[in-house]
Structure 1
């Protein structure tokens, strides 16, 4: 299955992978800036998000992404990814290092990370609400957790719509487990930018700090104002950070 996607601009290929709180619409503020800077910017919906259906059999997000790159004829690509999309980007960059020219990760998740008590409590509360059939309350929990109090109501409504849609699609489908592949983060060769938010859950700053120390060519920026979704809350500021990095490393 080819992931739902759209393309803007011409030039070097760049793929945007969304947070699992959102879908590809989260990149609305980034797409014009990246296309205008000379990139062929592609954004896709991972399975069970946006316009990509839930799979009927075991699947791999990373292999879906590799298949999408093949479909697009993109032998080499820069990856920009947020949160759960960052976990997918790390796997792609580790399994197919020659295909990734640069890696920009915003508040990224990481396979194997031991969650903090706060993150575990969030997951348990979300699960309980969904098991009780209260997707609206689970959606509001996500909006409160992942956006700062400074977020505009327009931003909150955008995240609310994306998260609730994902819940509705996923809850209506059979539960299918993803395929967990073995890979070594030490295989990553792409220059890497790690962005975290000082107002996010501690887990994501910890992950960024660890990856900055472990990856061969990586640097970490912590944004003092940011929560978990900085590209949505202050897009112009994040666009500038991304373009500064990508222009150097593309």
Structure 2
């Protein structure tokens, strides 16, 4: 399943002015007094969206895709860690989040928006790392252009057709009730309690609250972007057909839905053991940036080498992770883990699980 790739340098691109939802999508409207949002260019009657991004470092590109209640600033602690490790880290705002807040329009295709943005940045092949919604979009990108994806890391994934647990249903209901009462702050508090672990620092909780507040305000103002037909739904066997190396993870304090969803995804991708990030909830990378970077870089180091050499002077250790990444991986007592998490988190070879300190 491939999309048409077009030249991203040959036509105009202007920020679409968010305060003018009445303007037709095919117009390029200069943004004067509003924050810059996604850039829209148009080629052969098809909208090309260049998503807002931050990047740091040089080397193998790693594309970071954020969770639904957050935005690309979720990765602000990760960018310098990854850059120092000798990779090019690129964090994107997905449509409807952060600076990519859009007026109401017919449909969005986040997976093609990601690919168009990477074309714009001159990135041909890359590793994808996504959390929650970002994990879903990473999978959609992978099945759309699998030849471009060198590796895939998905944390906190749950297929949408899976019946929600009572805990997940409660989280949704508490947010809905708060929004129906026009109480954004109550919705933010409910989101922090649902998606952040009790082990998280006050700084992490505050950062999560800021991102969630922004996302909720934008959703109330503009509605949620309507996604086009999901490429994962078009072919039920698309994930099993992927041959890209993959790693699936979950936060130790996450809801059971994401343990079960992670186990199912790992089976489909033939990814082996599900990595459990200790002392973290659903937004595990946000809560444990050094540990997540250690896990991610260890995975990347196992991928086939690129043609280019690693930039000189780079240090593949992650600052704050206690030295080498391998030293930060400790065996999990699976018998003890099964007492509080769903089964199916070990592979057929019976290899020990890994938990990140």
- The TM-score, its normalising length taken from structure 1, stands at 0.94
Q: CA RMSD in A?
A: 1.6
Question: 116-125 or 141-150, which moves further after superposition?
Answer: 116-125
Select the residue among 258, 272, 288 that pairs with 1:234.
288
Task: Write the deviation string for residues 197-220 of structure 1: whole angstroms up to 9, x where unpaired.
Answer: 231100111111111111134441
Which 4+ runs in 1 deviate beyond 6 A? none
CA drift of 1:24 comes to 0.6
Change (3 A) 1:237 1:224: closer
Task: Write the deviation string for residues 167-195 of structure 1: whole angstroms up to 9, x where unpaired.
Answer: 11121115542112324212322111111
- The answer as to whether partners of 2:130 and 2:138 remain within 8 angstroms in 1 is yes
Give the structure 2 partner of residue 177 of structure 1. Answer: 226
| Distance in 2, Cα, partners of 1:144 & 1:92 | 30
Give the structure 2 partner of residue 72 of structure 1. Answer: 121
Question: 218-227 or 65-74, which moves further after superposition?
Answer: 218-227
1:155 aligns with 2:155: no
1:202 aligns with 2:256: yes
1:103 aligns with 2:157: no
Change (3 A) 1:33 1:143: same
Task: Write the deviation string for residues 31-70 of structure 1: whole angstroms up to 9, x where unpaired.
Answer: 1111112211110101121111225231111111111121
CA drift of 1:130 comes to 1.2
State how 1:111-130 maps to structure 2 within 5 Å: 111-130=160-179
| Distance in 2, Cα, partners of 1:233 & 1:174 | 28
Task: Write the deviation string for residues 72-96 of structure 1: whole angstroms up to 9, x where unpaired.
Answer: 1211110011111101111111221
Q: How many residue pairs end up in the alignment? A: 250
Select the residue among 64, 78, 85 that pairs with 1:37.
85
State how 1:78-89 maps to structure 2 within 5 Å: 78-89=127-138
| Distance in 1, Cα, partners of 2:129 & 2:55 | 14
- The answer as to whether partners of 1:190 and 1:217 remain within 8 angstroms in 2 is no
Give the structure 2 partner of residue 143 of structure 1. Answer: 192
- The answer as to whether partners of 1:97 and 1:187 remain within 8 angstroms in 2 is no
Gaps of 5+ in 2: 1-48, 305-357
- The answer as to whether partners of 1:3 and 1:45 remain within 8 angstroms in 2 is yes
Give the structure 2 partner of residue 26 of structure 1. Answer: 74
Task: Write the deviation string for residues 5-26 of structure 1: whole angstroms up to 9, x where unpaired.
Answer: 1221111111000011211111
- The answer as to whether partners of 2:96 and 2:224 remain within 8 angstroms in 1 is no
Select the residue among 88, 110, 115 that pairs with 1:61.
110
| Distance in 2, Cα, partners of 1:33 & 1:185 | 30
- The TM-score, its normalising length taken from structure 2, stands at 0.67
1:16 aligns with 2:64: yes
Give the structure 1 partner of residue 302 of structure 2. Answer: 248
Task: Write the deviation string for residues 117-138 of structure 1: whole angstroms up to 9, x where unpaired.
Answer: 2212221221221122111111
| Distance in 1, Cα, partners of 2:188 & 2:225 | 22
* SS across alignment from 2:140: helix
Structure holding more helix per residue: 1
